Structure 1
Amino acid sequence: MRITPRRGIGVAAATAALVIPLATAAPAAADPGLAALARTVTVRGVENHLRHLQRIADAGHGTRAAGTPGYTASRDYVAGVLRKAGYTVTLQEFPRFFTTELSTAVLQRVSPDPRTFTPTPPRGGSLGEFATMAYSGSGDVTAPLRAVDLVLPPGPAPNTSTSGCEAADFAGFTAGDLALVQRGTCNYRVKALNAQAAGARGVIIFNEGQPGRTGTERSSLLGVGVDIPVVTASFAAGEELARAAAPTVRLRTDVVRDYGSYNVIAESRFGDPDKVVQFGAHLDGVDAGPGVNDNGSGSAAVLEVAARLGRIPTRNRLRFSFWGAEEYGLVGSQHYVANLSAEEKARIRLYLNFDMVGSPNYALKIYDGDDSDATGGPAGPPGSDEIEKLFEKYFDTLGQGHVGTDLDARSDHDSFAQAGIPVGGLFTGAEELKTPAEQALFGGTAGVPYDSCYHEACDDIDNVNGEALALNTGAIATAALVYGFARDLPGPDTRPVTVARTLAPAAHDDHAGAPAR
């Protein structure tokens, strides 16, 4: 593991200037003792959690994906650390199907010119020319292959192709055939469902073909409902199949569907229960590998901060969340938010999300709460801009560059944003390519993914950048102290006015807090 920061920045150094943002954001919390407390959150502690998650993956056939023994062991480890730290811990079970690939898939051109395409193993190994999609059905089909509204050669920009996005694309499709569909415009689930409705017995969705969109993708159909085999394929494999004359193809997938998983929710025993400051990271990985950066890094950093603050009497209630099945479409966090009452939602004053905070070729990205970067991403609910400013102040105080990143729907913050709760967080990049401007700010290599092991078997203990991990862990500790002790929190107070609040508005205004509810 890369535990030595490139410029020698550790959590202790990263939190040395805490008094400034604390004094600015929360006068009552401008206490050098709190800055000293933040320094007890060490990168060594985070690394210890990461090593434990790696050992869990090693014992669980190389994965910590939802529905596997590796996830169950990860859940139990995190819950044990939190209980020991003094939290009230809830294991929230949620019912949902998950898919696990039992054996290696098969994709063959039977005729003309028989050829077997290189598969992606169910766990571990490099990406092949095709890969089974999460939530795919099982089956072994040999049938004619029909191209569906392809754009070959590919258009100049991503999402030029609309292949399979409309039911009309399958007009004249022969039921019982296999469908060849191209990536672009709509998500894979839409394409697969349209193909299934047209009578396809299996679907091959190949990459679109522009730079950065040529290789095989590990991806998900985002839920059950597709009962036929569905695989992704590289652009080269898809183009080869598309240009064959009336090809007959064999497609085989071998998948089992598991049921249910868990979130881990830890509630502090201190602070105003009507002013909840919630932190979260997804705990699951993908089938392919240990998931140490994605998202062991976010989970371990949040866990270490929680462990150090568990017995601190904050003004506001701290809540730490570790989500299951994020990789299957934010399933755990969506279940959690959907099952909150209106009153419970109103008590959550903000939610902070940390997904991949140690990418090897990192950029320090702050969720853009108000779309001030004008990149076209959605602005968050009111108050999200204030969270963005806190993280900007943290990095500015350190003289550390930072960039914005869109509040898109790729991680668990979206579940809270959709409920109108102010959101924010940090991210260091996934499969996208680092820009020259980011190389100038953060070092590393432009034109290379932030994490070349994203969703791969190599996302292991050696796939984490110690400098990024230290800086972001310091930021999480800063946010926990600022918002844990702040008199005023971001966003409007949406709690309903009650008699108790009217008569005793300052009932929880002391540092001692209130007993857990």
Structure 2
Amino acid sequence: MHRRLIFSSILSLAAASVIQRPLLEPSDSQALINTKPLVSSNAIQDDISSSKLLERAKHLYKLAKLATDEYNHPTRVIGSKGHLATIDYIYSTLASLREYYDISNQTFPAVMGNVFESRLVLGHSTPKSAGPMSLTPPTKNKEPVYGPLVLVANDGCEELDYPANVTGSIAFIRRGTCPFGTKSENAGKAGAIAAVIYNHMQGNLSGTLGQPSEHHVATFGISDTDAEPFIKKLQTGETVDASAYIDAIVENIGTTNVIAQTKGGDPKNCVMLGGHSDSVAEGPGINDDGSGSLTLLEIATHLTKYTVNNCVRFAWWAGEEEGLLGSDYYVSQLSEEENMKIRLFMDYDMLASPNYAYQVYNATNAVNPAGSEELRDLYTGFYKAHGQNHTYIPFDGRSDYDAFIRNGIPGGGIATGAEGVKTEKEAAMFGGRAGEWFDHCYHQLCDTVNNLNLEAWELNAKLVAHSVATYAVSFKGFPERTAITSNAVPERSLYHGPKLVI
């Protein structure tokens, strides 16, 4: 039996436990803070241990279990009791440090979805790769729908691409050019009862429809291999009967970012870093992004032993898994003056993948705000100094740095890998198993405490601490901010968050 979330009750719980907490008043503790030593990289790195990180991870998993009565398994997806408890844990931990930090909550509108069950049949077969798109609506009345499969012209980005006979049928649409949500919307406007988007490149297709539309229809993605025989049949005039079924909800809710900024340090030159507090609905997200968000919480705790020359601002974003909702909202609310105070943003998402590689976003100044490359080089310099290999990964909009670099703020970050397959070369560089995902539990129920590589997590947490200490002391040699826009023109990204959008 499916349990629909009672969102009014959940939001009341959020208000009682988090949102209605009073903002902390400035205290007279600044004189005491100023008696502490200036933060140094070595000192704060020494404060970091895998045992303390693991202790926090175990607690986070307990919080994820609070959602079991809603989802039948642990999760920290936005709107769930697991996520509300996560926000409360972060806030209450910071509240104990109120003499050192100004703390605030930022509540914003968000959309969440959950697919309870789905099935797609094309002809007489069920494509193995078929999967519902994130934020898809259900089929009509949450019942199976039946109709012929109709091939859509071009990439389905224009309403004219949809032939008259798509009405009452299941639209078969090629990936490419425009967002999946646009394709689903056009299919709905044309009268389709469901849509199937097939990959035009090699591999399976899993993505999101993004912001809900009243015209969206139940939408699946399938691989190029599974699509090929049906494309040939339709192109030769053969009829392909099909059926689709999705039981899902898409709901508008409210959720919360948590921000903590040091009382000390130059407020016009702020070091900012963030991780996301939510998980996907499918699992508890202890690596994704418990490892990043807990690293921030641990460092924020230890930073209170020191003074800083430049302010440090920590952020825990909500709704990253639904499409970078929290970080997008945060940046959209910044005035030009407040935007210019942020000298750089550092993103820390998935730092403890079990089959890890030390990955650095390849953020160059050529296609990103000036300073992004200097941050990239700080990361690589740390790995080299510790005798570790590293590899560059695309800076392609898959995590919360995206809104910052689009608004002129230098950005970068590190990771340890998600669903990508480790190569033989990478196995030689980092150990582990070639031919397997960096995180075989990525976006799955098994992303628990047992899914963490503690060695990688501790080293990366020390690197995060190093990045904080470096810029909290000085921005010497780091490019000055001059505008909220950048002369660099980034390439169009296929991602806006962890799921494909195009």
TM-score range, shorter chain: 0.7 to 0.9
Alignment length, in residue pairs?
433
CA separation in 2, counterparts of 1:495 and 1:146? Answer: 51
CA offset at residue 478 of structure 1? 0.5
SS at structure 1 position matched to 2:443: coil
What is residue 216 of structure 2 aligned with on the other side? 227
Residue 384 in 1 paired to residue 372 in 2? Answer: yes
Segment drifting more, 172-181 vs 274-283: 172-181
Match of 2:424? 436
Greater CA drift, 201-210 or 269-278 = 201-210
Quote the offset at 1:259 in angstroms: 1.3
Tell me the residue number matched to 2:500: none
Determine which of 107, 129, 135 is the counterpart of 1:93: 107
CA distance in 2, matches of 1:46, 1:489: 33
For 1:280-319, list aligned pairs within 5 A.
Answer: 280-319=274-313
**Helix, strand or coil at the partner of 2:76:** coil
Paired position in structure 2 for 1:64: 76
Mapped partners of 1:176, 1:355: distance in 2? 43
- Higher RCO (CA-CA < 8 Å; seq separation 6+): 1
- Does structure 2 retain, via aligned residues, the 8 Å contact 1:144–1:178? yes
In 2, Cα distance between the equivalents of 1:362 and 1:280? 21
For 2:254 and 2:44, how far apart are their aligned partners in 1? 38
Distance 1:252 1:368, change over 3 A: closer
Q: Deviations over 1:66-117 (max 9, x none)?
A: 121111111111111122233222111011222233x3234346xx65x6x5
Write out aligned runs for 1:169-248 (5 A). 169-184=161-176, 186-208=178-200, 210=202, 213-214=203-204, 217=206, 219-225=207-213, 226-233=215-222, 238=227, 245-248=239-242
The match for 1:36 is 43
CA RMSD of aligned residues (A): 2.7
Per-residue deviation at 1:209? 6.5
Aligned residue identity for 2:169: D
* Deviation (angstroms), 1:54: 1.2
Q: CA deviation at 1:31?
A: 8.0
Which amino acid in 2 is paired with 1:57? A
Give % identity: 33
SS of 1:292's equivalent?
Answer: coil
Q: Which amino acid aligns with 1:269?
A: K
Matched, 1:277 2:267: no
Tell me if the contact between 1:281 and 1:353 (Cα under 8 Å) persists in the aligned partners. yes
Matched, 1:445 2:433: yes
Alignment partner of 1:317: what SS?
Answer: strand
Structure-1 residue corresponding to 2:145? 142
Q: 1:130 to 1:460 in 2, by over 3 A?
A: farther
Matched, 1:268 2:262: yes
Matched residue of 1:76: which SS? helix
State the Cα deviation string for residues 290-319 of structure 1 (Å, max 9, x = none).
Answer: 111111111111211111113422111011
| CA-CA distance at 1:464 after TM superposition | 1.6
Alignment partner of 1:131 is 2:131: yes
Q: Aligned residue for 1:422?
A: 410
8 A contact 2:287–2:452 mirrored in 1: yes
Distance 2:392 2:242 in 1: 48
Structure 1 residues 489, 146: closer, same or farther in 2, change over 3 A?
farther
Conserved 8 A contact 2:255-2:318: yes
> Does the residue aligned with 1:104 lie in a helix, a strand or coil?
strand
Is residue 419–residue 438 contact of structure 2 (8 Å, CA) maintained in 1?
yes
**Closer, same or farther in 2 for the Cα pair 1:292/1:248, shift >3 Å?**
same
Q: CA deviation digits over 1:269-302, x for unaligned, max 9?
A: 1111111100101111111111111111111112
- Alignment partner, residue 466 of structure 1: 454
Using the alignment, how far apart are the partners of 2:40 and 2:395 within structure 1? Answer: 34
Deviation, 1:416, is 0.4
Q: Which moved more, 1:35-44 or 1:201-210?
A: 201-210
Match of 2:87 in 1: 75
Change (3 A) 1:96 1:59: closer
Instruction: Tell me the TM-score normalised to structure 2 length.
Output: 0.79
The alpha-carbon distance between structure 1 residues 187 and 431, as it changes in their structure 2 partners (threshold 3 A), is farther
Distance, in Å, in 1 between the alignment partners of 2:289 and 2:317 is 10
Please, what TM-score do these two structures have when normalized by structure 1? Answer: 0.77
Measure the CA separation in 1 of the matches of 2:279 and 2:146.
34
Q: Which amino acid aligns with 1:89?
A: I
Give, in whole Å, the separation in 2 of the partners of 1:368 and 1:167: 38
Distance in 2 separating the partners of 1:33 and 1:50: 26
Q: 1:370: how far off?
A: 1.2
Q: Hey, what does 2:476 align to over in structure 1? A: 488
Q: Could you list the runs of 5+ residues in structure 2 that have no partner in the other structure?
A: 1-36, 69-73, 485-502
Residue aligning to 2:57: 50
Q: Give me the whole-angstrom Cα distance separating, in 2, the residues matched to 1:435 and 1:224.
A: 38
Distance in 2, matches of 1:32 and 1:143, equals: 65
Deviations 1:252-276 (CA, angstroms, capped at 9, x unpaired): 3331413121111111111111111
Amino acid at match of 2:135: Y
Distance 2:273 2:40 in 1: 22
Amino acid in structure 1 at the alignment position of 2:191: G
Residue type of the partner of 1:441? M
For 2:325 and 2:277, locate their aligned partners in 1 and report how far apart those are by CA, in whole Å.
12
- Counterpart of 1:447, as a letter, is G
- Is this contact kept in 1: 2:371–2:478, CA < 8 A? yes
Aligned with residue 478 of structure 1, among 466, 471, 478:
466
- Aligned partners of 2:314 and 2:245: how far apart in 1? 43
Task: Determine if contact 1:229/1:253 at 8 Å carries over to the other structure.
Answer: no
Instruction: Give the Cα separation in 2 of the matches to 1:288 and 1:249.
Output: 25
C-alpha contact (below 8 Å) 1:183/1:205 kept by paired residues? yes
The whole-number CA distance in structure 1 between the counterparts of 2:268 and 2:248 is 48
Specify the SS of the correspondent of 1:180. Answer: strand
Choose 230-239 or 475-484, whichever is displaced more.
230-239
